[in-house]
């Protein structure tokens, strides 16, 4: 145990937190399932008792509407906690391997899930509650200690988390570190047992490279340009447009899985623009500047970046394009007739701008998608299974949602994560437990002399008869394909059924 006694050396807050968490983990505090359950309940209580404070903080950071705050932040995390509480006892049980083969027929073989140890979690500013606390829930349910670094860009939520977490969770096991890039860099260079990062691919690569010095597992939840494809023959185009615009205007488009650009034919493009004009008027009758249903852009830096994407585009702004610096709002904007070299097609937009790239059919759309990095998600609007299957089979993405947007996030047991440039690793539902756990392989056999006699052909000196026996034992046979646990259940059912038949027959006689 390290103790600081020098008056001339004061460790940084992050180093102190890491030492306390490491010490707590080595005391096996978090290994106790009852402790994990208690901490999850405390986090749930934190959200319940401080909902108004979270609403206020998110309003200050992002002008986030109450409905979005409750549904996508507070309730999203609470639902995750409820799910984990329902399943934690089954998670921690050893997962026995039933089909083991002749060589290990009498052995117990199972997987035991171990916590990694002390994990570092980086949150993000666009969903500063959900993206900070859902990974923390995963870390807790798996039995880890954790240090949480919320995004300093959503400063009000960052301060609130730093204030509330120590009041509700164990102060040795769980810590919140605040600060900017300098503090994030300092803590990242410390030796953790795992790092979980949510953010841009650019920063994700730095995190990955830094963590590689310690050879630790890293989960990167990144982003990318998530395409939307609309089939020419899709039914009810108005519903399609409404769903896409709902997803694009939520959080003012500042979502890693927001529809990034639209692929469609010229005919669909014209109809889409006409319907979008009508629907956006329904959504925001008096504009977005003072709307209670529309977020602001997080800061001036991103506000300027998005306005530059609009002004530098070679396409035609057909809807929106206006903005207000005082309120940091940008109207939902649709840009038609962009080309592949357009600046807006070279980076993730992360804002309320939807460029339209016209294509001549499914094959051209798929080819366009494949020329870029693998996206975090993909949205396909079509009534034809053949077209949907073609996208699923011929493209690669973290997820696909068919005939709607964003809703893949709402299914607890669907893994959330990217592929390639859009991320490494998955979480949500039981995937969160697995994400923060090491699956340890265990084989247990006894020292029975009969078993030892049966397996003594492995010992020198070797000869032909031993080789023959070992070849038989180590070759895959019909025994390897039998699940004896299942077979026993069927046998037991057969025996009990036969006895019941005999008993009933005897009584009737």
CA dihedral 403, 408, 411, 413 (to 10 degrees): 130
- Of 134, 173, 256, 405, catalytic: 256
Predicted pLDDT at 481: 60
CATH superfamily of 13-222+430-439: Aldehyde Dehydrogenase; Chain A, domain 1 (3.40.605.10)
Closest among 411, 451, 448, 405 to 431, alpha carbons compared: 411
pLDDT at residue number 480: 56
- In the residue annotation, 364 being an active-site residue is answered as no
Rounded Cα distance between 392 and 400, Å, is 8
DSSP string, 130-181: HHHHHHHHHHHHTT-EEEEE--SSSHHHHHHHHHHHHHHS-TTTEEE----H
Nearest-angstrom CA–CA distance, 40 and 136: 10
DSSP string, 407-424: GGGG-TTS-B---GGGEE
What local confidence, expressed as pLDDT, does residue 109 receive? 93
For residue 130, pLDDT over 50 is answered with yes
* The pLDDT of residue 103: 76
- The residue extents of the domains of the chain are 13-222+430-439, 227-416
Give me the mean pLDDT over the 166-190 stretch: 95
Options 1.25.40.10, 2.40.10.410, 3.30.70.20, 3.40.309.10; CATH of 227-416: 3.40.309.10
- Whether 422 and 201 have beta carbons less than 8 Å apart is answered as yes
What value does the mean pLDDT take over residues 134-158? 98
**Are 316 and 336 a contacting pair, CB within 8 Å?**
yes
Please tell me the predicted confidence (pLDDT) of residue 455: 84
Q: What is the pLDDT of residues 89-99, one digit of tens each?
A: 999 999 999 88
> 228 with 381: CB under 8 angstroms?
yes
Mind listing the pLDDT tens digit for each residue in 343-361? 999 999 999 999 999 999 9
Q: Model pTM?
A: 0.90
Dump pLDDT digits (tens) for 272-290. 999 999 999 999 999 999 9
Residue 123 has pLDDT above 90, yes or no: yes
The β-bridge relationship of strands 108-115 and 437-444 is: antiparallel
Contacts of 483 (CB under 8 A, 6+ apart): 98, 99
Instruction: Give me the mean pLDDT over the 403-417 stretch.
Output: 96
Closest CA to 223 of 428, 418, 426, 431: 418
The confidence score (pLDDT) of residue 484 equals 59
Q: Mean pLDDT across the chain, nearest whole number?
A: 93
Q: Residue 492: what pLDDT?
A: 76
CA atoms within 13 A on the CB side of 33: 13
- Judge whether residue 479 has pLDDT over 80: no
Catalytic member of 158, 221, 348, 373: 221
CA 73 to the chain's CA centroid? 14
DSSP 295: P
Decide whether 13-222+430-439 matches 227-416 in CATH topology.
no
**256 is annotated as an active-site residue:** yes
């Amino acid at each position: 145990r390290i103790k600081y006694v020098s008056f001339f050396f004061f460790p940084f807050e992050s180093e102190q937190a890491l030492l306390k968490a490491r010490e707590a983990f080595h005391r096996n505090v978090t290994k106790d399932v009852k402790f994990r359950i208690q901490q999850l309940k405390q986090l749930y209580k934190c959200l319940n008792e401080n909902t108004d404070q979270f609403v206020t903080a998110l309003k200050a950071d992002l002008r986030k509407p109450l409905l979005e705050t409750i549904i996508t932040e507070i309730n999203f995390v609470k639902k995750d906690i409820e799910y984990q509480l329902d399943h934690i006892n089954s998670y921690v049980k050893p997962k026995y391997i039933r089909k083991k083969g002749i060589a290990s027929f009498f052995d117990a073989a199972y997987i035991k899930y171990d916590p990694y140890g002390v994990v570092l979690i980086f949150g993000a500013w666009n969903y500063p509650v959900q993206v900070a606390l859902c990974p923390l829930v995963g870390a807790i349910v798996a039995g880890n200690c954790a240090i949480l670094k919320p995004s300093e860009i959503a400063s009000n939520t960052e301060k609130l988390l730093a204030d509330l977490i120590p009041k509700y969770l164990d102060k040795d096991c769980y810590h919140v570190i605040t600060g900017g890039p300098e503090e994030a860099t300092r803590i990242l260079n410390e030796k953790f047992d795992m790092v979980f990062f949510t953010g841009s691919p650019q920063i994700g690569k730095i995190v990955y490279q830094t963590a590689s010095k310690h050879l630790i597992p890293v989960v990167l939840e990144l982003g990318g340009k998530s395409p939307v494809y609309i089939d020419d023959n899709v039914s009810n185009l108005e519903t399609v447009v409404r769903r896409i615009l709902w997803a694009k205007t939520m959080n003012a488009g500042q979502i890693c899985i927001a529809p990034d650009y639209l692929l469609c034919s010229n005919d669909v493009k014209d109809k889409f623009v006409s319907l979008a004009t009508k629907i956006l008027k329904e959504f925001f009758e008096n504009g977005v500047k003072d709307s209670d249903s529309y977020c602001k852009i997080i800061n001036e830096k991103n506000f300027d970046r998005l306005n530059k994407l609009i002004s530098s585009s070679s396409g035609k702004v057909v809807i929106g394009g206006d903005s207000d610096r005082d309120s940091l709002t940008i109207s939902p904007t649709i840009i038609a007739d962009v080309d592949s070299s357009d600046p807006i097609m070279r980076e993730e937009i992360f804002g309320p701008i939807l460029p339209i790239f016209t294509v001549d059919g499914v094959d051209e759309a798929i080819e366009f998608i494949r020329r870029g990095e693998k996206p975090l998600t993909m949205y396909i609007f079509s009534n034809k299974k053949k077209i949907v299957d073609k996208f699923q089979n011929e493209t690669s993405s973290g997820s696909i949602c068919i005939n709607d947007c964003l809703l893949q996030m709402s299914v607890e047991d669907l893994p959330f994560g990217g592929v390639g440039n859009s991320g490494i690793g998955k979480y949500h539902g039981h995937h969160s437990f697995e994400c923060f756990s090491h699956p340890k392989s265990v084989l247990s056999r006894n020292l029975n002399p009969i078993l030892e006699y049966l397996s003594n052909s492995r010992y020198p000196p070797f000869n032909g008869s031993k080789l023959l026996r070992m070849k038989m034992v180590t070759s895959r046979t019909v025994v390897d394909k039998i699940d004896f646990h299942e077979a026993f259940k069927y046998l037991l059912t057969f025996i009990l059924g036969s006895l019941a038949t005999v008993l009933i027959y005897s009584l009737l006689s």
